[in-house]
A = this chain, B = another copy of it.
């Protein structure tokens, strides 16, 4: 029978899996062993470097000059580290940012770095960020957030897992080949930013600008900015949901009314708005907007089976989420409704009484806010039309004398990768090598625009390869990365380089 290219590569992948997922050549196997041993032996140095990086308060969220200084110091430290590896480093000046209060703050540079440009090798590009969420001891940290502190193998500190640890794991992998005086199996590029937690200001423009220069010879992009689904089982992420954010305004007049002097004779905007918001989703979580599910990718048997092997303890998940009951009871249904089905959440209302106490106001103008997490293959403009038509329909049936206006204020597409793409297969083999197990093939229910941004602009294979465990507490007052994850993660990147090299 005729064998297609993709069937052939599946067969190849299968054969490789059958032999334990490792490359068969004896030299690479020996090299890998040496690499692993080196990383193992130098782990304290690697932890020490992470400690130095965590010590920098590179907070991009609080717009204060002293944090910006720290961000510049952080980017300079990373540039220096890369230069010492022999990379050519370009710290791209991004000018400054005008804040709503009129203040102007400098934007930390984005680092574009490259190490090796052998046309016979594959070129992998790693995206990471070195800025962090705010953290202060008094927020409830048990240890100083900017002093990496090890407790029972857990390295607590702001940025430890998000995203300084993974950036250093990648650097550790590169530096290990150099320390062992081994040729790097791949050309390596870095794009490191310092404004991710503040919305990746200036990133998209730069990627667009560098599309035909810095990114022109990139074959694969790796992002390591999310977490496993489990504490122990590694994962590979192949999709994120998109988001379309809507605002629906109902207005009688700009000023509020007193409910004593007007209650009973008005079409009250809040009554209209709760009716509109109440028409969006039913008690079972199903979105009631006609046609909204029409383009959702049908569930295949193959996909369904993939969910079965994923490591998720529903009871533990419920407990750690402090949720009494989810809408679904099985692991498979829960994950599918987080990853591959759309969801609609009502976020709140602007313009109504939101304080404590008992104010007797009839709000004159209110804005309801809700968003729909989009999945393949929903079409943004179709969704926008469906939402608007539905709300106009519900509103017109009320025969209200108020004015209604619906707008989609944000639209971010979902991202999905082909899990049979050669980079994914290489990563799976690397994971088997390091962890001795197949990864959970996971998605992320939230919207991470970066993967889609790289995919859309530079049109190369993009993969999210997380290192941290599910309980790493990104953004929380107990952020940590396990020493084990950090060190095994460094090995994983080294193994991934060798797997990628074998593809070329």
The chain A residues found within 8 Å of chain B, CB to CB, are 241, 243, 245, 247, 252-253, 255, 258-268, 270-272, 274-275, 277-278, 280-281, 283, 285, 321-328, 334, 337-338, 341-350, 352-356, 358-363, 369, 371, 373, 398-401, 409-410, 444-447
Q: Is the CB of A410 within 8 A of B358?
A: yes
Known pairs A252-B324, A260-B444, A345-B360 / 18 extra A-B pairs, C-beta < 8 Å: A241-B260, A243-B260, A243-B360, A253-B321, A259-B347, A260-B446, A263-B344, A265-B337, A266-B323, A266-B326, A271-B346, A283-B398, A326-B401, A347-B353, A347-B359, A347-B362, A350-B356, A358-B409
In the assembly, what is the distance between CA of A271 and CA of B409, in Å?
Answer: 21
Partner of A264, one of B283, B321, B341: B341
Specify which chain B residues have a CB less than 8 angstroms from the CB of A355 in the assembled complex. Answer: 350
Listed by A's residue number, 30 A-B pairs whose Cβ atoms lie within 8 Å are A252-B324, A259-B373, A262-B338, A263-B338, A263-B445, A264-B285, A264-B337, A264-B341, A264-B343, A264-B445, A265-B285, A265-B328, A265-B334, A265-B338, A266-B323, A267-B325, A268-B346, A270-B345, A270-B348, A271-B346, A274-B274, A345-B360, A347-B363, A348-B353, A349-B349, A349-B352, A350-B354, A350-B356, A358-B371, A358-B409
Given A285-B264, A352-B349, A400-B283, residue A259 in contact with residue B343 (CB < 8 A): yes
Q: Is the CB of B371 within 8 A of A360?
A: yes
Specify which chain B residues have a CB less than 8 angstroms from the CB of A323 in the assembled complex. Answer: 252-253, 266, 401
Q: Is the CB of A322 within 8 A of B255?
A: yes
Give the Cβ gap from A374 to chain B, nearest Cβ, in Å: 11
In the assembly, what is the distance between CA of A259 and CA of B358, in Å?
Answer: 29
Report how many copies the assembly holds: 2
Q: Is the CB of B347 within 8 A of A348?
A: no
Given A283-B275, A322-B255, A373-B264, residue A362 in contact with residue B345 (CB < 8 A): yes
Given A261-B446, A373-B264, residue A361 in contact with residue B347 (CB < 8 A): yes
Closest to A337 in B: B264
Specify which chain B residues have a CB less than 8 angstroms from the CB of A283 in the assembled complex. Answer: 267, 271-272, 275, 398-400
Given A327-B265, A358-B409, residue A363 in contact with residue B341 (CB < 8 A): no
Q: Is the CB of A245 within 8 A of B358?
A: yes
Q: Is the CB of A369 within 8 A of B353?
A: yes
Given A266-B327, A267-B283, A283-B398, residue A261 in contact with residue B338 (CB < 8 A): yes
Give the Cβ gap from A327 to chain B, nearest Cβ, in Å: 5
Partner of A354, one of B245, B337, B354: B354
Q: Is the CB of A445 within 8 A of B260?
A: yes
Closest to A336 in B: B264
Given A264-B338, A398-B283, residue A275 in contact with residue B275 (CB < 8 A): no
Specify which chain B residues have a CB less than 8 angstroms from the CB of A327 in the assembled complex. Answer: 264-267
Closest to A271 in B: B281
In the assembly, what is the distance between CA of A264 and CA of B323, in Å?
Answer: 14
Specify which chain B residues have a CB less than 8 angstroms from the CB of A264 in the assembled complex. Answer: 285, 327, 337-338, 341-343, 373, 445
In the assembly, what is the distance between CA of A272 and CA of B342, in Å?
Answer: 19
In the assembly, what is the distance between CA of A264 and CA of B255, in Å?
Answer: 36
Q: Is the CB of B344 within 8 A of A265?
A: no
Give the Cβ gap from A123 to chain B, nearest Cβ, in Å: 31
Closest to A360 in B: B371
In the assembly, what is the distance between CA of A322 and CA of B266, in Å?
Answer: 12
Q: Is the CB of B278 within 8 A of A274?
A: yes
Give the Cβ gap from A90 to chain B, nearest Cβ, in Å: 33
In the assembly, what is the distance between CA of A275 and CA of B343, in Å?
Answer: 17
In the assembly, what is the distance between CA of A321 and CA of B322, in Å?
Answer: 48
Closest to A367 in B: B356
In the assembly, what is the distance between CA of A346 and CA of B358, in Å?
Answer: 11
User: Which 3 residue pairs of A and B lie closest in terms of their CB atoms, listed nearest first?
Assistant: A260-B446, A348-B353, A264-B343
Quick one: which of A400, A409, A446 has the most chain B CB within 10 A? A446
Closest to A277 in B: B274
Specify which chain B residues have a CB less than 8 angstroms from the CB of A373 in the assembled complex. Answer: 259-260, 263-264
Specify which chain B residues have a CB less than 8 angstroms from the CB of A271 in the assembled complex. Answer: 280-281, 283, 346
Given A243-B260, A275-B278, A277-B274, residue A354 in contact with residue B349 (CB < 8 A): yes
Q: Is the CB of B345 within 8 A of A268?
A: yes
Specify which chain B residues have a CB less than 8 angstroms from the CB of A266 in the assembled complex. Answer: 285, 323, 326-327
Q: Is the CB of B360 within 8 A of A354?
A: no
